[in-house]
Amino acid sequence: MGSKNLKFNTKTIHGGQQPDAAYGAVMPPIYQTSTYAQTTPGGHKGYEYSRSANPTRTALEKSLASIEGGEFGLAFGSGLAAIDAVLKLLAPGDEVISTNDLYGGSYRIFKKIFEKFGIVFHFVGMQGTDAVRDKINTKTKLIWVETPTNPMMNIVDIKAIASLTKGEDILLAVDNTFATPYLQLPLELGADIVMHSATKYLGGHSDTVVGALIVKDQELADKLYFIQNASGAVCGPMDSFLVLRGIKTLHVRMQRHCENGRVIAEYLKSNPKVEKVYWPGFEDHPNHHIAKEQMKDFGGMISFVPKGGNYDDAIKIVERLQVFTLAESLGGVESLAGHPASMTHASIPKEVRLKNGVVDSLIRLSIGIEDVDDLISDLEQAIK
């Protein structure tokens, strides 16, 4: 059966997958091996060394390509290893335009690692296309988009940004970690590369760290595969298996993340002790119309600012939470709370952070799939 024509909820389970050739195992075995027997030099069954390829990783890579509507998937040892591989497509003097409100680790690898090698980064607001258009010149080789953004939940119009790269030698990469392919398909909207921290929703169970890239174009896939093999930041067979298993329930988990997210966003908005709530599902969210157009629903990530709160008040709230776990990361079945200023976004200079709205009292929630009443009671007691 051609898996291209399957619906998303079937692709998560069957996309790119076949029962294992050896014994018909329904789940791909964890091929925990570094090397493969050869009958004569070069005489092998498609695998010779597990940095270059491993059957469990191949199964994950095919699944990733299927669910994102791409042709090729590549799995890495972490989301940042996947970003690292994309940046290695560039050469000194090349310029990158990135969303200004982005994952702290992405900002850090851009500024602290790749700037040193002569790559120039511009960070701009992408709520409209003007700021991007202003920065594009002949040296621009990559546009890096996160949407919804972390942690401000800004929405970037992927199709509109893609239209700026048409006919130009500029790649558009979208970090699809927050939305997942259940909510939005960047390749369909004109992106060249989709990137994931599969550590988050794709894995979904907070039990592994994995990264992914998905592309449509063969030549681009070949270049990325060369980098993946040459630099070697691959993910192991056990981690590949865990993400593959996670993907099989992605659609049901995401549906519940979205349902719970909606109820909690509305609860927080109606709470007089809360000053501001950031969630793209609100009609008064500045780019709600774009979110409605390019996303199927609004996801389970919410940020809020307690009324009149400062740094210490936010810390007290996150410490008081009992069902929500205070932790880095997001996208697992359990609800997590984080304090960006001291956690995920601590590597971003304070003035840059404040300019982007990440104030000291901002709290970020990853809404899990527990009973939503318990989540609300927990927030109620912590905010009070």
Ligand X SMILES: *Cc1c(COP(=O)(O)O)cnc(C)c1O
**Residues 6+ away with beta carbon under 8 Å from 56:** 28, 29, 30, 31, 237, 238, 240, 241, 244
> Please, what is the minimum distance in Å from the beta carbon of residue 66 to ligand X?
21
Q: How far apart are CA 241 and CA 261, in angstroms?
A: 28
Yes or no: say if 332 and 206 are a contact pair by the CB < 8 Å rule. Answer: yes
Is residue 337 packed enough to be buried (19+ CB in 10 Å), middle (13-18) or exposed (0-12)? buried
> Please, what is the minimum distance in Å from the beta carbon of residue 178 to ligand X?
6
Give the single-character DSSP code of 369: S
> Please, what is the minimum distance in Å from the beta carbon of residue 341 to ligand X?
16
Give the single-character DSSP code of 363: E
Site for ligand X in 127-186 (CB under 6 A): 146, 150, 175, 177-178
**3-state secondary structure labels for all residues of 277-333:** EECCCCCCCCCHHHHHHHCCCCCCEEEEEECCCCHHHHHHHHHHCCCCEECCCCCCC
Q: Does 211 bind ligand X (CB under 6 A)?
A: yes
Q: Residue 353 corresponds to which tokens in the numbers above?
A: 């952070």
Residues 171, 209, 224, 274: which binds ligand X (CB under 6 A)? 209
Residues 16, 55, 69, 79: which binds ligand X (CB under 6 A)? 79
Yes or no: say if 67 and 247 are a contact pair by the CB < 8 Å rule. Answer: yes
> Please, what is the minimum distance in Å from the beta carbon of residue 146 to ligand X?
6
Write out the catalytic residue numbers.
51, 103, 175, 200
Yes or no: say if 168 and 236 are a contact pair by the CB < 8 Å rule. Answer: no
Q: Which is nearer to ligand X, 212 or 274 (CB)?
A: 212
> Please, what is the minimum distance in Å from the beta carbon of residue 211 to ligand X?
5
Residues touching ligand X, count (CB under 6 A): 16
Q: Which is nearer to ligand X, 242 or 274 (CB)?
A: 242
Q: How far apart are CA 72 and CA 99, in angstroms?
A: 25
Q: How far apart are CA 172 and CA 129, in angstroms?
A: 14
Residues 60, 80, 109, 318: which binds ligand X (CB under 6 A)? 80
Q: Which is nearer to ligand X, 84 or 192 (CB)?
A: 84
Site for ligand X in 183-202 (CB under 6 A): 197, 199-200
Tell me which residue of 143, 151, 107, 105 sits closest to 126, measured CA to CA. 143
Q: Which is nearer to ligand X, 140 or 177 (CB)?
A: 177
Binding mask 100-129 for ligand X (x = CB under 6 A): ---x-xx-----------------------
> Please, what is the minimum distance in Å from the beta carbon of residue 151 to ligand X?
10
Q: Which is nearer to ligand X, 80 or 369 (CB)?
A: 80
Where do contacts with ligand X occur on this chain (CB under 6 A)? 78-80, 103, 105-106, 146, 150, 175, 177-178, 197, 199-200, 209, 211
